[in-house]
Amino acid sequence: MTDKELLNDIAKLQQKPLFPFWGFLFALGSVLYGEFIVRVDGYLLANTEPYFQMIPEDLIGWLMIAGAVIKLAGVLLNNGTLKRVGIISLSAMWSGVFVLATTYSFGTGYPHPSYIFMGVMMLGCFRIARKGDFG
pLDDT tens per residue across span 115-130? 899 999 999 999 988 8
| pLDDT(15) > 90 | no
Say if residue 45 is exposed, middle or buried (CB neighbours under 10 Å; 0-12, 13-18, 19+): middle
Confidence of residue 1 (pLDDT cuts 50, 70, 90): low
Q: From CA 74, how far away is CA 69, in angstroms rounded?
A: 8
DSSP letter for each residue of 34-92 = HHHHHHSTTHHHHTS-GGGTTS-HHHHHHHHHHHHHHHHHHHHHT-HHHHHHHHHHHHH
CA 20 to chain CA centroid, nearest Å: 14
pLDDT value at 16 more than 70:
no
Judge whether residue 133 has pLDDT over 70.
Answer: no
Cα distance between residue 68 and residue 70, in whole Å = 5
For range 4-28, the mean pLDDT: 81
Q: What is the model's pLDDT at position 119?
A: 93
Gap between the Cα atoms of 31 and 61, Å rounded = 9
The per-residue pLDDT for range 55-89, each reduced to its tens digit, is 888 999 999 999 999 999 998 898 889 999 999 99
Between CA 124 and CA 127 the distance in angstroms is 5
